[in-house]
Amino acid sequence: MLVLLARCSKGSYRELIRYEKGRTTKKQIVRMVLLIFLVGMGGMYLAGFICYGDIPYLPSMMIAPIHPALAIINALVLPVSTAIAEDALYLGCGVNGIRNKYAAVILPAFFFALQHCFIPTLPDVRYIVYRFLSFLPLTVLLCIDYQKKRDPVPIMIGHALIDVATVTWIIATSLAPGFYEMMCSL
């Protein structure tokens, strides 16, 4: 859909996200990966404390086992596809598409965080608020960084790596169900 959107505006996916080959340095990638992990985990812990009074609050259903074949497919597809789709949508379309510099951060960050409220979908208001607050600091950081630098590569790599961490847990619990029970008892 994003490629079609870019083509309709007489551009390409690379132009949508403002990708420039050779622009990104290894230092920028390492910096962003560390920021994503620190702010992502910090946001999750802070939101857990606000909503549940626990640090760390780690809902076990986030790493619940699934069929092993699905876990492996998830591990191969999720990190790359979400970085390509989500970052292009919220940064390329959102940040790049909104003229007001404050709205260009606030709106995409809000909807980026809101999207994560429903993974997994639970009809529990406190859980939905927890997920939103978990992601909001990170999505604001990503939108501000992208707005300043217009370099999607460090963000996309960091996003993919944090998703790799998530799918690694899911593979572990799916291939060794006893591991999930152990994690739930902690």
Give percent of the chain with pLDDT exceeding 70: 99
Q: How many CA atoms lie within 13 A of 74 on its CB side?
A: 19
Tens-digit pLDDT profile for residues 98-120: 999 999 999 999 999 999 998 87
Residue 105: CB partners within 8 Å, gap ≥ 6?
95, 140, 143, 144, 147
Predicted local confidence at residue 6, as pLDDT: 81
> What are the structure tokens assigned to 45, written together?
């812990």
Instruction: Report how far residue 14's alpha carbon sits from residue 151's, in angstroms, rounded to the nearest whole number.
Output: 11
Q: Is the pLDDT of residue 141 over 80?
A: yes
> H-type helices in the chain, by residue range?
2-8, 13-17, 26-52, 68-87, 96-97, 103-115, 125-149, 152-175, 177-185
Predicted local confidence at residue 180, as pLDDT: 82
Instruction: Report how far residue 18's alpha carbon sits from residue 87's, in angstroms, rounded to the nearest whole number.
Output: 12
Residue with tokens 């996916």: 13
Predicted local confidence at residue 108, as pLDDT: 97
Q: Residue range 142-160: average pLDDT? A: 96
Predicted local confidence at residue 7, as pLDDT: 82
Nearest CA-CA partner of 165 in 55, 49, 35, 78: 78
- Domain range spanning residue 149? 2-185
The model's pTM: 0.88
Indicate the number of domains in the chain: 1
Nearest CA-CA partner of 166 in 86, 64, 69, 89: 64
CA–CA distance from 142 to each of 63, 75, 152 (Å)?
24, 23, 9
Question: Looking at residue 24, what DSSP letter applies?
Answer: -
Q: Is the pLDDT of residue 34 over 80?
A: yes
What band does 40 get if pLDDT is binned at 50, 70 and 90? very high
Mean model confidence pLDDT for the chain: 91
Vertex 28: Cα angle to 48 and 30 (nearest 5): 55
Instruction: Report how far residue 14's alpha carbon sits from residue 22's, in angstroms, rounded to the nearest whole number.
Output: 13
More confident of the two residues 186 and 144: 144
Predicted local confidence at residue 121, as pLDDT: 77
Q: Is the pLDDT of residue 59 over 90?
A: no
